[in-house]
Chains A and B, each alone.
Chain A
């Protein structure tokens, strides 16, 4: 796939025309690059907020006993940490990547609905304010865990209403973003770019957007029913009124499991761009990657009750969900083997994006294996709601999604800022992150196997050493993320000028435009050979 030289208009920058300056530029902007940048900054800010909450949790768990926060506040921290990281940090980060890169990758001038794009972003700050300020209202924030299980959530204070409202707003934003992405990818590809010639990042986002469209109404319905149970006398989930709290769990996880893939699949897309670039080889098995990603998305709809083995279900149901869950390992394995095969006999180099991608590959695979362990009903009954589960999903979410987001950020920073980042600092960021990440979460496998339950502020003495190691690791991990901030600020301020294509093995239309990418690109689409 190659662009015919001169086949597209993008070398000019008329960012100055019809654009207000200062803060109003960012409030009113409809430019996909501006909006992408705002998404990325917002997600990083929320990552810091959610990270501080995680550090409060780890500070409390540094040693047995209650030292830092009372149990109520501890529960609020775990709830908000989960909600903020999932909906405020990771999802917006990948939407930021999508906004910045999809039009550049498919040769489109912008997203299909530029004004709606602006709205989808500006819905996020009010939701974030609602979530974070709920800590200040009487009764505090929601303290039920990010799953918002009733009947606890039916009984909580106004902080719960704020969380429900925030989830609604975040859901609307996600749906608007997804509709925009689907419309853009389907309709605005450059002539010659068939679906099976699209960069894999675009494919993964098309599938992700489809997942969002399919499951967001389910979440919206679930939290609305909690709201009506709380205030309008209904009893959907209130057993005292004839409702069924377990119904909520089914609905939530019907949304919640695809949500895991809504986070993971764009991460797969980023890594599928980075690994071939630094292996100097095309992605191995492109078509099988597309089919594997689609299979994962389809399977994600039929495995939700593996989160609920201990709730009580017939053996046949347990067996079904167990085997269906194990089936996901097949397409996931295809992807992992394809990434490894891409590197096989490649001319590898280990710049920061590649390091984060390899880190992703190792640790996400480890998270996948612990997921396989948990998929077995008999084992899960032992490990359910233990620190083993916490370790598992942090290997998937942090080492999976976050490491991949860093890989993408370092990979495209030269295109975004026009400057090369500081490679030494980037590598320092990677090594600190991977060491402290494993220090934080690997030991949690042992805590879980030894029987330490999750979501508790105090614990038995036998868990003290591993918790101490985990807390030290968490503070190290948190602080090492500031290195990334320094790298980005340095890159924005100046540094070595980045060429249009700073990575010699990189392929795709985004590398045909100058660095930094002009405000307007591909006003007329390029033609691909």
Chain B
């Protein structure tokens, strides 16, 4: 999903990883599952079959780990912000944010074929950063076209 802010002097695109459930809803789902599973296991433990409890514990733990592992990727995004002086490319992956600033008049943006697919490369001298992972082919092309024309304007 992407949000685009486009004014005469400013251009901003935010592309986020698709995630169809909010962290809050996921937490709720996990809590309901964990509570149910542990109630069942505790009941059997009280009836004398206590071996059920550690297995339920391990399993609930595994489910929690899975949700956390996936949840760490939920906040992933790419932000491309262009103003008069700087082109900022911000990439957040697993809660780690990296920012790169480029001088607009020296920067090129292009599509690069990778196998039959493509990626968007922002290049300035010997530095480059790949973006557009969360965009489809059509929106990648749109991004390259729009950003290229804006970068072009800043050259003259």
Contact = CB atoms under 8 A, between A and B. Distances in A.
Contact of B51 (A17, A112, A213, A221): A221
B138 interface: yes
Given A12-B115, A216-B59, A244 B48 contact: yes
B56 A217 contact: yes
Q: For the complex, would chain B's binding face be called helix, strand, loop or mixed by DSSP majority?
A: helix
Interface in A108-138: 112-113, 116
Interface in A289-331: 301
B116 A175 contact: no
A191 interface: yes
A65 B29 CA distance: 56
Contacts of B40: 214-215, 218, 254, 301
Contacts of A244: 48
A8 interface: yes
Given A179-B62, A221-B55, A191 B70 contact: no
Contacts of A221: 41, 44, 49, 51-56
Interface stretch (A222-230, A343-351, A497-505): A222-230
A216 B26 CA distance: 21
Contact of B48 (A8, A113, A236, A254): A236
Contact of B137 (A9, A225, A250): A9
Contact of A187 (B21, B44, B47, B134): B21
A251 B33 CA distance: 19
Given A213-B33, A244-B48, A187 B70 contact: yes
Interface in A179-210: 179-180, 182-183, 186-191, 193, 210
A175 B59 contact: yes
Nearest to A237: B49
B19 interface: yes
Nearest to B18: A525
B106 interface: no
Interface residues of A, number: 48
B47 A247 contact: yes
Contacts of B74: 187
Contacts of A116: 66
Interface in B40-82: 40-41, 44, 47-49, 51-56, 58-59, 62-63, 66-67, 69-70, 74
Contacts of A112: 66, 70
A112 B53 CA distance: 27
B137 A213 contact: no
A7 interface: yes
A187 B59 contact: no
Contacts of A6: 136-138
A189 B20 contact: yes
A522 to B, nearest CB: 9
Interface string B108-140: 000000011100000000000000001111100
Residue of B41, B63, B69, B136 contacting most chain A CB atoms (<10 Å): B136
B63 A179 contact: yes
Contacts of A301: 40
9 contacts: A9-B137, A14-B116, A183-B70, A213-B37, A215-B40, A220-B51, A236-B48, A524-B136, A524-B137
Contacts of B31: none
Nearest to A212: B59
A16 B115 CA distance: 9
Given A214-B33, A221-B41, A224-B51, 17 more contacts: A12-B115, A13-B116, A116-B66, A176-B62, A180-B66, A183-B67, A183-B70, A187-B19, A188-B20, A213-B59, A213-B63, A218-B41, A221-B44, A221-B49, A236-B51, A250-B47, A251-B49
